[in-house]
Amino acid sequence: MDIKELRAITSLSPEEFADRYGIPIHTLHKWELPEDNSNFRSCRPYILSLLERAVKEDFPKGGEKSIISLEKENRDLWDFLESKGLSREAFLYLKNK
């Protein structure tokens, strides 16, 4: 697994990912460049391994927010949608289209 794949699991922007895991943003950008780019810098295997463990612990479902966490963040939105007959599952389906 490489850095781009790990970040994709989290659904975080490069800035959010770098901030969350204490990585300088310019270092993250260099890690995510194609290997044939002259500015590419490989991530040390032990760092990659530690980040993989942290990401899997922090994002056990691959970055997808659970319906419960979405409800807490968007209580008013959910109440409105339910009053109009739209289920949570339908909203999540439409949101991801």
Domain extents in the chain: 3-58, 65-97
Task: Report angle CA 52, 50, 31 to the nearest 5 degrees.
Answer: 70
pTM above the 0.85 mark? Answer: no
Q: Tell me the torsion sign for CA atoms 6, 10, 13, 18.
A: negative
Is it the case that residue 68 has pLDDT exceeding 50? no
pLDDT score of 80: 72
pLDDT score of 61: 75
Alpha-helical (H) ranges within 1-97 are: 3-10, 14-21, 25-32, 45-58, 67-73, 75-83, 88-95
Residues near 44 by beta carbon (within 8 Å), at least 6 away in sequence? none
Crossing angle of helices 3-10/25-32, nearest 10°? 110
| pLDDT tens digits along 9-67 | 888 999 999 999 999 999 999 999 999 999 999 999 999 999 999 998 898 876 554 44
